[in-house]
Amino acid sequence: MPYADVGAFPVPDAVDDDRAVFAADAAPTGWLATELGAVRPGDVVAVWGAGAVGQLTARAAVLRGAARVLVVDRYEERLRMVERHSGAEPLDYRRTDVAAELRDRSGGRGPDVCVVAVGSPPADRFGGRHADRPDALREAVHACRKSGVVVLLGGTDGFVDAFPLGTVTERRLTLRGVRRPDLRDVPMLLDRMARDELRTEHLATHRLPLAQAPHGYALFRHRADGCVRAVFTP
Ligand SMILES: NC(=O)c1ccc[n+]([C@@H]2O[C@H](COP(=O)([O-])OP(=O)(O)OC[C@H]3O[C@@H](n4cnc5c(N)ncnc54)[C@H](O)[C@@H]3O)[C@@H](O)[C@H]2O)c1
């Protein structure tokens, strides 16, 4: 295990494994997104993508005191989780005019911080019409308030076409990106888990023995059977 002395942390007794496992990646990523977005108390925050990362970004924004947090996706079960577990408001983009809703729910200005967490490239490639990651990024850039911050999470293939650069300059937007979470946040997040501020076990939708890992990854990749995360037990 490379760098085990750097990347291993004691898990508080009050945190069970199904909760703690999310401190490894999705929770610190969501936390970092809100740090890069400089989310402040009273802000309106919009998140594209209600996977584990999007949901934990939304929860991080709530914990930082955002006045409203809105999460955009199309999967009903994920949007229900957003409502039940993060304290954020779900927006189903198949049924809603997202741009208009975001404007309305942010006093007509647009969200202060927009985070794009719309899924790994392999899942997107199989994901049908909304496979195009820049769709969400474009929507975020257009929705964000003047002088707001847009944060892009995760790996990309490196190049995108038709990026609305003029809007970035016209609206004085700050654009930030991140691919790896910060391990320094892990102990703080474990403490929040121990205090029940951060609950993640609902994201472990599938529990499988390690031998079924390929099946678990396939469920995750295709978002099949309501899979948000498959957790493997050795
Ligand atoms: N440290 C990091 O920076 C880090 C760590 C883990 C994951 N990530 C990245 O975060 C992103 C999200 O990861 P995840 O595991 O939650 O992914 P996921 O595939 O489980 O969820 C992504 C969600 O985005 C939604 N989506 C797709 N296109 C959309 C659109 N145009 N508008 C609104 N919603 C849309 C999908 O319906 C899906 O529910 C990925 O890009 C991943 O690479 C980054």
Domains of the chain in sequence order = 16-198 (3.40.50.720), 204-234 (no CATH)
Rounded Cα distance, 89 and 112, in Å: 16
Nearest CA to ligand 1 atom 9: 154
- Bridge partners of 150, per DSSP, are 114, 175
In the chain, count of helices (H) and strands (E)? Answer: 11, 8
- Tell whether the torsion through CA atoms of 28, 29, 30 and 34 is positive or negative: positive
What is the rounded average pLDDT of the residues 8-15? 96
What is the pLDDT at residue 75?
A: 95
Rounded Cα distance, 197 and 123, in Å: 30
Nearest CA to ligand 1 atom 40: 119
Nearest CA to ligand 1 atom 30: 136
Rounded Cα distance, 61 and 73, in Å: 17
C-alpha of residue 24 to centroid of ligand 1, in Å:
16
Rounded Cα distance, 48 and 53, in Å: 10
8 Å CB contact between 147 and 173: yes
For a substitution probing ligand 1, which of 53, 73, 86, 130 has the most ligand atoms within 8 Å of its CB?
A: 53
C-alpha of residue 205 to centroid of ligand 1, in Å:
16
What's the pLDDT tens digit per position in 173-231? 999 999 888 899 999 999 999 999 999 999 999 999 999 999 999 999 889 999 999 99
Whole-model pTM: value is 0.94
What's the pLDDT tens digit per position in 54-75? 999 999 999 999 999 999 999 9
What's the pLDDT tens digit per position in 73-128? 999 999 999 999 999 999 999 999 999 999 999 999 999 999 999 975 444 444 44
C-alpha of residue 51 to centroid of ligand 1, in Å:
6
